[in-house]
Amino acid sequence: MRTKLYVLYGGKSVEHEVSLKTAVTVLGSLDERRFEIYPVYITRDGSWCTPEQHTLKDLTVERLIVQPKFHDPAASIGEILSGVMAMPGDKVVLPLIHGSNGEDGTVQGLLELLNVPYVGNGVLASALTLDKAMSKQVLAQAGIRQTEYLACRYEEWRTDQKALLLQAEDSIGYPCYVKPASLGSSIGISRCTNRGELIAGIREAFSYDKKLVIEREAIGREIQVAVIGNDKPLASLPGEFIHDHLFFDYESKYMDKRLAMSIPAELPDGLTQRIRTLAIQAYQAHGCEGLARVDFFLDEAGQLYLNEINALPGFTNFSMYPVMWERTDGTSYSELIEQLIGYAISRHKDKQTIQYRK
């Protein structure tokens, strides 16, 4: 019998559209001879629903959007869990939800309670990697270099804006970047060169999250590494996007058709292996399993800084993660998805040996 594969996409997140783009590509690559595939769409309001009929041929973003029968999330989730996900047989879940309410450990916690295997990171690693402020503390504890930063909660800003501005200017300076703590795809991020821009950037970030980070700008190149695996993870050859944007924002990442990938990135002797080693160290420090993309800055002086870890990197045709593996060891897109499913099943089997009674 084929394994039942439940593909979750959409989500209550500002990265909803990114998830849809990922889902189109992933669903179109799956082997229906091996998997019985059930797409599960999560609306912007958090309701779960499945297409009554679906085909993986000629998929579009529009065809993946479904109107829910129940607009109450609890009722809709209950229908999915007691319906298609309760069918007997081997099953595995493939979450493709970027950002909040999906990449942050919330969905992973539900799947743990259901005791079903799922692709990607567990509850703790998902929460840590999405929260940039917490992730930076983990990196500092692991002794991995990163740029100077300042974390701030909304209540601190509301209570004493002047003190925060002075602290940011004294410890970080300009130019700096303001980022919502728990978002990806460069959404809500501002590059600030003076106090006016800093105030506007802080307000923008707080519209997406109740916590933010302010980081010193590292002028140079952004190098990415794909990591895969559970207990013995592997790192790909590093890659980078070649572009002329001062700030690589959401529009630059997803709308600029001139972007070019350089894989492997042209790096000085010895630096490629060092980056791969550091990527695995950061991956393990966060307790990651399954997959993650680790991003570095290489500044003009040759100093290397770890920027962030993305626990659910994009899987569109323009995404770096799958292409890095194809150019590292020849793994095709569909083979990569099946490897990730294999890691999920293996991790789940290992967890079944844990004892919950004396």
User: Which of 167, 183, 216 represents a domain boundary (last residue)?
Assistant: 216
Reply yes or no on whether 15 is catalytic: yes
Q: Are 111 and 135 in contact (CB under 8 A)?
A: no
Sole residue written with tokens 């916590």: 211
Task: Assess whether 227 and 325 both reside in one domain.
Answer: yes
Reply yes or no on whether 338 is catalytic: no
The 3-state DSSP composition of the chain as helix, strand, coil percent (nearest 5) reads 40, 20, 40
User: Which of 68, 98, 118 represents a domain boundary (last residue)?
Assistant: 118
Report whether 308 belongs to an annotated binding site.
yes
Whether residue 50 lies inside any domain: the answer is: yes
pLDDT-based confidence at residue 100 (cuts at 50, 70, 90): confident
Task: Assess whether 113 and 187 both reside in one domain.
Answer: no
pLDDT tens-digit profile of 181-240? Answer: 987 657 889 999 999 999 999 999 999 999 999 999 999 999 999 999 999 999 999 999
Reply yes or no on whether 185 is catalytic: yes
What is the token pair recorded at 133? 């402020």
Q: Are 17 and 51 in contact (CB under 8 A)?
A: no
Task: Assess whether 233 and 195 both reside in one domain.
Answer: no
Q: Is the predicted pLDDT of residue 262 greater than 80, yes or no?
A: yes
Active-site residue identified among 76, 126, 190, 319: 319
Report whether 121 belongs to an annotated binding site.
no
Task: Assess whether 160 and 242 both reside in one domain.
Answer: no
Burial class for 215, CB neighbours closer than 10 Å (0-12, 13-18, 19+): buried
Total Cβ atoms within 10 A of residue 20: 21
pLDDT-based confidence at residue 243 (cuts at 50, 70, 90): low
What order of strands is seen across the sheet that includes strand 290-299?
234-235, 220-229, 290-299, 304-310
pTM: 0.91
Active-site residue identified among 13, 15, 126, 236: 15
Task: Assess whether 193 and 275 both reside in one domain.
Answer: no
Taking alpha carbons only, the member of 116, 130, 128, 23 closest to residue 344 is 116
Three-class SS of residue 311? coil
Separation between Cα atoms, residue 227 and residue 292, nearest integer Å? 5
How large is the average pLDDT for residues 300-305? 92
pLDDT-based confidence at residue 247 (cuts at 50, 70, 90): low
Taking alpha carbons only, the member of 189, 162, 187 closest to residue 178 is 189
Task: Assess whether 346 and 228 both reside in one domain.
Answer: yes
Expressed as residue numbers, the domain containing 10 is 3-118
Q: Is the predicted pLDDT of residue 135 greater than 90, yes or no?
A: yes
The tally of domains found in the chain comes to 3
Whether residue 105 lies inside any domain: the answer is: yes
Three-class SS of residue 163? helix
Sole residue written with tokens 């690589």: 248
